[in-house]
């Protein structure tokens, strides 16, 4: 994002902000009370990725892929 213009950065930050309020649709579709937000889920998955203790896995890459995956779906 270093080459992005300020307006693009602000739009991106607004998208990120909305993830805190957007509930996961799978939870909502199944009537689960206390549905977690997308940001809640992303945070937990990022922590889990950092805790992986397997030398064959690049934890930094794995963590970034988890975050990018949610922005693509």
Residue among 51, 25, 54 nearest 38 (CA): 25
* Contacts (Cβ under 8 Å, ≥6 apart) of 73: none
- Residue-by-residue pLDDT tens, the chain, 73 positions: 456 799 988 988 898 899 999 999 999 999 999 999 988 988 888 888 888 889 998 888 888 887 776 665 5
pTM reported for the whole predicted model: 0.70
How far from 47 is each of 8, 24, 41, 64, CA to CA, in Å?
A: 27, 18, 10, 11
Q: pLDDT value at position 33?
A: 92
- Tell me if residue 34 falls in helix, strand or coil: coil
Q: Tell me how far apart the alpha carbons of residues 33 and 28 are, in angstroms, rounded to a whole number.
A: 8
Q: What is the pLDDT of residue 21?
A: 93
- Look at residue 3 in the predicted model and tell me its pLDDT: 63
Q: State whether residue 68 is helix, strand or coil.
A: helix
């Amino acid at each position: 994002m270093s080459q992005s213009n300020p307006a693009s950065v602000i739009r991106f930050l607004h998208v990120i902000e909305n993830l805190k309020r957007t509930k996961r649709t799978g939870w909502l579709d199944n009537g689960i009370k206390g549905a977690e937000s997308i940001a809640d889920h992303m945070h937990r998955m990022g922590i889990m990725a950092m805790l992986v203790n397997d030398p064959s896995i690049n934890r930094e890459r794995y963590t970034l892929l988890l975050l990018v995956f949610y922005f693509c779906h």
